[in-house]
Amino acid sequence: MSLTQPSGLELNKPRAGILAHGQCGHERLSILNHDKGCLIAGVDEAGRGPLIGSVVAAAVILDPLHPIEGLDDSKKLSAKKREYLYTQITSNSVCWAIAEATHEEIDHLNILQASLLAMQRAVYALGILPQYVLIDGNRCPDLSYPTRAIVGGDRLESSISAASILAKVFRDRQMHILHQQYPDYGFDAHKGYPTSAHLSALRQLGALPEHRRSYRPVRDVLAESMR
């Protein structure tokens, strides 16, 4: 599926939306190539449900010579465990990348297409070309590699679990930064999801520039403010 590029957004720039990336040294990669291991990238996103901020995606190629214990669906792990595994993944994977689609892009494209865009960016930000890509969910982004979508893949495939952890930790960190800017909204607690506390703050304090205008609670607050 091709992603339509809305006017005014620089979606076609090679580095657009890339947040972080890294890879192992050439010596380890040479060993993997010698062993003829298949370089499989797992991909997942975080942040489809929140009313504010970017949707973040990660792509990870795990190193079979350096297995990481404890990988699981990020939602099943404590914040402390996710932070620990984030360090393990970024230190021991063959390569990894994190990318985003911004709140403006979400409003222009819709959240599904923005999520696919973030995944696409994350895969293309990998420093090493994957031979196969596994995507969490039932839709695949437009990629020039063989891909497979797996519903519940963050529980079934370790590479997708690793990607889900990177995406979740990075997006939570974004919310902590937003909390420092706007402490009255409570982003450190609800991470932008439509909890009663967030909806209450939204109604009392109004929508922020980072809020997703295409989401109904935000749209309703903006409409009310115009009356």
Token digits of residue 181 = 């800017």
Using DSSP bridges, classify how beta strands 40-46 and 132-136 pair: parallel, antiparallel or unpaired: parallel
pLDDT at residue 163 is higher than 60: yes
User: Please, which pLDDT band fits residue 36 given cuts at 50, 70 and 90?
Assistant: low
- Say what the pTM is: 0.88
139-151 pLDDT, tens per residue? 999 999 999 999 9
pLDDT at 226: 79
**Alpha carbon distance 85, 62 (integer Å):** 13
Residues 6 or more apart whose CB falls under 8 angstroms from that of 18 comprise 97, 98, 99, 121, 122, 125
pLDDT at residue 109 is higher than 90: yes
pLDDT averaged over the chain?
A: 88
**Alpha carbon distance 151, 81 (integer Å):** 24
Q: What is the mean pLDDT of residues 32-61?
A: 88
User: Please, which pLDDT band fits residue 24 given cuts at 50, 70 and 90?
Assistant: low
pLDDT at residue 37 is higher than 70: no
114-137 pLDDT, tens per residue? 999 999 999 999 988 899 999 999
Position with higher pLDDT, 221 vs 30: 221
Q: What is the mean pLDDT of residues 4-20?
A: 49
Tell me which residue has tokens 């914040």. 79
Q: What is the largest CA-CA distance in the chain?
A: 67
* Spatial CA neighbour of 66 closest among 28, 123, 22: 28
Rounded to 10°, the helix 79-92/158-181 angle is 120
Burial class of residue 3 in the structure, from the number of CB atoms within 10 Å of its CB (0-12 exposed, 13-18 middle, 19+ buried):
middle
pLDDT at residue 30 is higher than 90: no
| Domain architecture of the chain: domains with CATH | 18-180 (3.30.420.10), 182-225 (no CATH)
pLDDT at residue 218 is higher than 90: yes
